[in-house]
Amino acid sequence: MKYSPIILFLSFLTYVKIASGQTIKKDKGAVNSETFSYCYMEPKGDVKGILVLLPGWGESPQSIFEKTALPHLLAEKGFVTIVPQLHQALLADDYTLAQVSELIAIQSKRYNSNSLHFILGGLSAGGAIAIGYAEHFLASDSTKLLHGVFAIDPPLDLNRMYKSAENKLQYECQNKLIRKEGDFIKKYLLRIMNGSPAQQPDRYLKYSAFSANKEDGGNAKLLKSIPVRLYSEPDLDFVRKTYCEQLQYEDINAFDLEKLSKFLAGIGNQSAEYITTKGKGFHSWNILDAVDCANWIVKITSENKNDGSTATTMALCNSGFRN
Does residue 199 fall inside a structural domain? no
The whole-angstrom separation of Cα 49 and Cα 56 is 23
The whole-angstrom separation of Cα 6 and Cα 192 is 20
Q: Whole-prediction pTM value?
A: 0.90
Q: Where are the alpha helices (DSSP H) in 113-176?
A: 125-139, 158-170
pLDDT at 160 > cutoff 60:
yes
Does residue 280 fall inside a structural domain? yes
Does residue 164 fall inside a structural domain? no
Range of the domain at 270: 24-158+214-318
The whole-angstrom separation of Cα 278 and Cα 83 is 27
Does residue 170 fall inside a structural domain? no
Residues 6+ apart with CB under 8 A from 237: none
pLDDT of amino acid 136 = 93
pLDDT of amino acid 108 = 84
Total number of residues shown for the chain: 323
Beta bridge pairs of residue 52? 82, 120
Does residue 104 fall inside a structural domain? yes
Q: Do 152 and 285 contact (CB within 8 A), yes or no?
A: yes
Amino acid at 166: E
Does residue 163 fall inside a structural domain? no
Q: Do 209 and 135 contact (CB within 8 A), yes or no?
A: yes
pLDDT of amino acid 18 = 47
pLDDT at 32 > cutoff 90:
no
The whole-angstrom separation of Cα 183 and Cα 191 is 12
What own/partner pairs with CB < 8 Å and gap ≥ 24 does 264-270 have?
Answer: 264/220, 264/223, 264/224, 264/228, 267/217, 267/221, 267/224, 268/224, 269/223, 269/224, 269/225, 269/226, 269/228
Amino acid at 50: I
What phi and psi, each to the nearest 5 degrees, are found at residue 149? -145, 140
The chain-wide mean pLDDT, for the chain, equals 88
Q: What is the pLDDT of residues 78-108, one digit of tens each?
A: 999 999 999 889 999 999 999 999 998 888 8
Does residue 17 fall inside a structural domain? no
Does residue 181 fall inside a structural domain? no
Q: Where are the alpha helices (DSSP H) in the chain?
A: 61-67, 70-75, 94-110, 125-139, 158-170, 177-193, 201-207, 236-242, 254-266, 290-303, 310-315
CATH number, domain with residue 132: 3.40.50.1820
Domain count, the chain: 1
